[in-house]
Amino acid sequence: MPPRHPGDSATTIASIHDVARTASVSLATVSRVLNGTGPVRDETRKKVLEAVERLGYVPHGGARSLITRQTRTIGVILPDIYGEFFSELIRGADLAARDAGYHLLVSGAHSNEQDTREVLRALHGRVDALIVMAPVASDTVDRALPGGVPVVLLNHASRDTRHRTIRIDNRGGARAMTEHLLDLGHRRIALVLGPPDNEDAIERRRGYEEALSARRVAVDPALLLPGDFTDGAGERAGLLVADLDPRPTAVFATNDAMAIGCLAGLRGRGLRVPEDVALAGFDDIPFSRYVSPPLTTVQVAISELGSRAAARVVQALAGTAPTRRHELLPTTLVVRESCGAHRPIQPRVPPRAPRATAGRKRRRQ
Amino acid sequence: MPPRHPGDSATTIASIHDVARTASVSLATVSRVLNGTGPVRDETRKKVLEAVERLGYVPHGGARSLITRQTRTIGVILPDIYGEFFSELIRGADLAARDAGYHLLVSGAHSNEQDTREVLRALHGRVDALIVMAPVASDTVDRALPGGVPVVLLNHASRDTRHRTIRIDNRGGARAMTEHLLDLGHRRIALVLGPPDNEDAIERRRGYEEALSARRVAVDPALLLPGDFTDGAGERAGLLVADLDPRPTAVFATNDAMAIGCLAGLRGRGLRVPEDVALAGFDDIPFSRYVSPPLTTVQVAISELGSRAAARVVQALAGTAPTRRHELLPTTLVVRESCGAHRPIQPRVPPRAPRATAGRKRRRQ
DNA sequence: TTGTATGCGTTATCAT
DNA sequence: ATGATAACGCATACAA
């Protein structure tokens, strides 16, 4: 072997063969030392370790996974929505995955099924399990995936899939919020909708309708405002609400981004929140407590959704604890001030109770 | 081969061998058909494709990458900070990576070097290139990585590394903001610091100090408030500012999360923004325009940071366009209302200009 | 146009 | 305690 140039070292990668040759032992011995399998004499071990150090040897994960038949990687497929939500989801999943010694292979932004299917195929042999949030049919997953790969579907529409699913209790949360507004005396409650084909949006709307029906309040189609989960749509909805006649006394935006946009829209029309119009959101993103007035919303433990998903596939991989297939993640009503339930704090006057602005939480379900 | 049970299909995965046998051709032919390499008779191709379909065969990415020596995957290593920032970064990187036919393998939350090093090692053979944002020494990367892997360091401290780097112009942005506040007549400008060991935080502070020095304004240590990039720290800083004597006339928080928290803190002490204290942030997260008053801040094109990073490693992989090693991403001053530059909008009175609330942007550098 | 044989870097099986 | 060798699933140089 010719002597290496300084710059060469960057391009020459040592394999287990090189280590074996340098240490004058066999491949098997090197492997044993590195993986702690089988007995090795202390002296031999030292020789091997020295060679490893000298050569800067790092095992090739790809080759290893070919024979061990596991990649220690979990694939995550996400739809194309951005913002707080996904960073939290990935964060939660990464934490749980790392705890179990797994990596995360994320792939986002998939609009159509065809696209998603290709990504699924490309992932075969690169991941041990999958967390899928994209809006794909359950059997599409089966088709694209060559079996044996545990899958957990996040917020998936159909309940009758054989795959594991975890869903946020969107309906229950929306129901709780609507009931809360009804309790405050509101009867004309506008709802800012999400994307028509979005499962979360559909469920939240359903919860709203259920709550109204249960109280014998008619669902007025004129109060159903279009939206798409972006703040821009919320702002437009706010303007619409201001012009509605008779004007709704409350607005329930099906996510916080729209609620915050809506606040700007209402303000733009000179309306005060909550004095003129009560406002509520959904998600409890971190900044919802910093808008003024602080936003009443439904808390969703997003990072927990991610971590539970990861935990589920990991335990499926380990073959332990065959928990029930379908899981529902509860939500929490967070009452702040935008709905008018609390007396709004007066500027320049200390609040009556020290922590009066803090969200009071009520567990649901 | 025994007949498969319906349930079996999920556990039995077909390999290229099975396809070859089913189609009565050789392995090579199947490979040729699937990869479009070499000539194949139409009839043979049809046979193979049929077999593929019937067996539900999906190529094994891991095995393939072993021989082709490329995984078509880019590793992303992130530090442990959460929120808007990373979702944007990953989003940008994923978009650019997908465009070039690459996947993203993300791994977050690495506190110490030791931890990071192990992750780096584990990634060998699973990724073709790396985007590293963790606070890790440049030569640690070299050590843990077995060479040949293109790396781009994000917001890395030392400029003298041989690795590619992309840095946000934190210093320039902070300088611009400080100058802006000075232009508005402020002389006592408090600075809410970030984590002491965070490179972005350090650079932002430096920009602040440079701007003051350039104008012959002394840097008062009493105006340097501790922080850690969280909204909680910002809130505490807000309380501190209110109690300072003499009170600063402006507060520059080194990120938006702290600025927003600071707003709450100032409010808690009955101070108005911008009338009593001007306020400015850094990052221009989406919600900074929705707080009231809308936040004056420095815009950072985060998703572009991600996409450029991905683009850089992709082009390094392709061996094209050896762009210069170190890149600086410019920032933009976004003047809204929290700094008092605009006349605050009067509630219930239409603003004088129709778009008076919109942020006015000024390019920098 | 197609098939055979070799190797990618590793672990696992069986000897020794 | 250690070594030789066969897989793992695929691509490819070479032969036919």
pLDDT of residue B82: 59
Q: How far apart are CA B329 and CA B321, in angstroms?
A: 19
Quick check: B103 and B72 in contact, CB under 8 A? yes
What percent of chain B lies above the pLDDT cut of 70?
87
Q: What are phi and psi of A318, to 5 degrees?
A: -80, -10
Residue B67 CA distance to nucleotide C7 C1' (Å): 8
Report angle CA A239, A241, A244 to the nearest 5 degrees: 115
The label of the residue with tokens 């596939």 reads: A313
Show residues, CB within 7 A, near nucleic chain C. Answer: A 13, 15-17, 27-28, 30-31, 34-35, 37, 57-60, 63-64, 66-68; B 24-29, 32, 38-41, 43-45, 63, 66-67, 69, 125
Residue B29 CA distance to nucleotide D14 C1' (Å): 15
Do the chains contact at B91 and A73, CB–CB below 8 Å?
no
Q: List bases in chain D with any atom under 7 Å of a protein Cβ.
A: 1-13
Q: How far apart are CA A257 and CA A232, in angstroms?
A: 9
**For residue A6, cis peptide bond before it (omega within 30 degrees of 0):** no
> From the CA of A215, how many Å to the nearest CA of chain B?
34
Q: What are phi and psi of B197, to 5 degrees?
A: -100, 5
Q: How many CB atoms lie within 10 A of CB A52?
A: 21
* B20 nearest nucleotide via C1' and CA: C3
> From the CA of A195, how many Å to the nearest CA of chain B?
20
* B35 nearest nucleotide via C1' and CA: D11
> From the CA of A261, how many Å to the nearest CA of chain B?
7
Q: What letter does residue A160 receive in the DSSP assignment?
A: -
Q: How many CB atoms lie within 10 A of CB B110?
A: 23
Q: Which of B89, B126, B161, B288 to mutate to test the interface with A (most CBs of A within 10 A)?
A: B126
Whether residue B344 is predicted with pLDDT greater than 90 in this model: the reply is no
Asked if the C-beta of A95 comes within 8 angstroms of chain B's C-beta atoms, the answer is yes
pLDDT of residue B83: 64
Q: Which of A54, A103, A161, A295 to mutate to test the interface with B (most CBs of B within 10 A)?
A: A103
* Closest partner CB to B9 (pick from A91, A147, A272): A147
* Closest partner CB to B12 (pick from A125, A143, A147): A147
**Pairing mode, strands A278-280 and A103-107:** unpaired
Residue A26 CA distance to nucleotide D1 C1' (Å): 12
Do the chains contact at A148 and B98, CB–CB below 8 Å?
no
Chain A residue closest in CA terms to B115: A98
Q: What are phi and psi of B272, to 5 degrees?
A: -100, 145
**For residue A246, cis peptide bond before it (omega within 30 degrees of 0):** yes
Q: Which of A72, A82, A287 to mutate to test the interface with B (most CBs of B within 10 A)?
A: A287
Asked if the C-beta of B35 comes within 8 angstroms of chain A's C-beta atoms, the answer is no
Element of type H or E holding A213? helix A199-214
Q: How many CB atoms lie within 10 A of CB A148?
A: 14
Give the model confidence (pLDDT) of B80-93 as tens digits. Answer: 755 677 888 888 99
Nearest partner of B191 among B146, B222, B231, B157, judged by Cα: B222
Q: Which of B60, B112, B287, B292 to mutate to test the interface with A (most CBs of A within 10 A)?
A: B287
* A64 nearest nucleotide via C1' and CA: C10
Percent of residues in chain A assigned helix, strand, coil, to nearest 5: 40, 15, 40
> From the CA of A362, how many Å to the nearest CA of chain B?
23
Give the model confidence (pLDDT) of B198-238 as tens digits. Answer: 889 999 999 999 999 999 999 999 999 999 998 899 999 99
**Pairing mode, strands A151-154 and A164-168:** parallel
Do the chains contact at A231 and B286, CB–CB below 8 Å?
yes
Chain-centre distance for alpha carbon B96: 13
Partners of residue B349 in chain A, C-beta under 8 Å: 270
Partners of residue A90 in chain B, C-beta under 8 Å: 86-87, 90, 106, 108
* Closest partner CB to B60 (pick from A57, A124, A287): A124
Residue A123 CA distance to nucleotide C3 C1' (Å): 30
Chain A residue closest in CA terms to B15: A146
- Give the E-state strand segments of B26-148 in sequence order: 73-77, 103-107, 129-132
Name residues 120-139 of chain B within 8 A of A (Cβ).
121-126
pLDDT of residue A353: 34
Quick check: B269 and B298 in contact, CB under 8 A? no
Q: What are phi and psi of A173, to 5 degrees?
A: -65, -45
Give the model confidence (pLDDT) of B94-137 as tens digits. Answer: 999 999 999 999 887 667 788 888 889 899 999 999 999 877 77
Residue A125 CA distance to nucleotide D4 C1' (Å): 29
Residue B14 CA distance to nucleotide D16 C1' (Å): 29
Asked if the C-beta of B269 comes within 8 angstroms of chain A's C-beta atoms, the answer is no
Do the chains contact at A58 and B124, CB–CB below 8 Å?
yes
Q: List bases in chain C with any atom under 7 Å of a protein Cβ.
A: 1-5, 7-14
Nearest partner of B223 among B207, B202, B244, judged by Cα: B244
Phi-psi sector, B309: left (phi>0), alpha (psi -120 to 50), beta: alpha
Chain A residue closest in CA terms to B145: A58
D6 nearest neighbour residue (CA to C1'): A67
Sign of the Cα torsion B317, B323, B325, B327 reads negative
* CB-count burial class (<10 Å; 0-12, 13-18, 19+) for A159: exposed
pLDDT of residue A361: 35
Partners of residue A260 in chain B, C-beta under 8 Å: 287, 290
Q: How far apart are CA B255 and CA B194, in angstroms?
A: 8
Partners of residue B257 in chain A, C-beta under 8 Å: 286
Q: How far apart are CA B311 and CA B319, in angstroms?
A: 12
**Rounded-to-10 torsion of CA A76, A80, A84, A88:** -10
Q: Average pLDDT over chain B, rounded to whole?
A: 86
Quick check: B314 and B129 in contact, CB under 8 A? yes
Q: How many CB atoms lie within 10 A of CB B138?
A: 18
The label of the residue with tokens 């650019």 reads: B96
Question: Sorting pLDDT into bands at 50, 70 and 90, what band is B9?
Answer: very low
Region B150-171: what's the mean pLDDT? 88
pLDDT of residue B173: 98
Asked if the C-beta of A185 comes within 8 angstroms of chain B's C-beta atoms, the answer is no
What's the first-to-final CA gap in chain A, in angstroms? 70
C8 nearest neighbour residue (CA to C1'): B67
Chain-centre distance for alpha carbon B132: 10
Do the chains contact at A103 and B105, CB–CB below 8 Å?
yes
Chain-centre distance for alpha carbon A257: 16
Q: How many CB atoms lie within 10 A of CB B291?
A: 24
Asked if the C-beta of A24 comes within 8 angstroms of chain B's C-beta atoms, the answer is no
Question: Sorting pLDDT into bands at 50, 70 and 90, what band is B322?
Answer: low
Q: How far apart are CA A76 and CA B105, in angstroms?
A: 10
Bridge partner residues of A200 (DSSP): none
Question: CB neighbours of B361 closer than 8 A, spacing ≥ 6?
Answer: B299, B332, B333, B334, B335
* Closest partner CB to A61 (pick from B107, B125, B143): B125
Query: 3-state DSSP call for residue B349?
Result: coil
C7 nearest neighbour residue (CA to C1'): B67
- Give the E-state strand segments of B193-312 in sequence order: 224-225, 250-253, 278-280, 297-299
Quick check: B364 and B331 in contact, CB under 8 A? yes
> From the CA of A212, how many Å to the nearest CA of chain B?
30
**Pairing mode, strands A297-299 and A250-253:** unpaired
* Closest partner CB to A90 (pick from B72, B106, B261): B106
Element of type H or E holding B79? none
Per-residue pLDDT of chain A (365 residues), as tens digits, is: 333 322 234 456 899 999 999 999 999 999 999 999 989 999 999 999 999 999 999 999 999 999 999 999 999 998 875 567 788 888 899 999 999 999 999 887 667 788 888 889 899 999 999 999 877 777 788 778 777 789 999 988 777 778 899 999 999 999 999 999 999 999 999 999 999 988 899 999 999 999 999 999 999 999 999 999 988 999 999 999 999 999 999 999 999 999 999 999 999 999 999 999 999 999 998 788 888 889 999 999 988 999 999 999 999 998 876 667 899 999 999 999 999 987 544 333 333 333 322 333 333 32
Nearest partner of A217 among A262, A251, A186, A177, judged by Cα: A186
pLDDT of residue A13: 85
Quick check: B145 and B306 in contact, CB under 8 A? no
* CB-count burial class (<10 Å; 0-12, 13-18, 19+) for A347: exposed
Residue B288 CA distance to nucleotide C5 C1' (Å): 64
Q: How far apart are CA B5 and CA B200, in angstroms?
A: 59
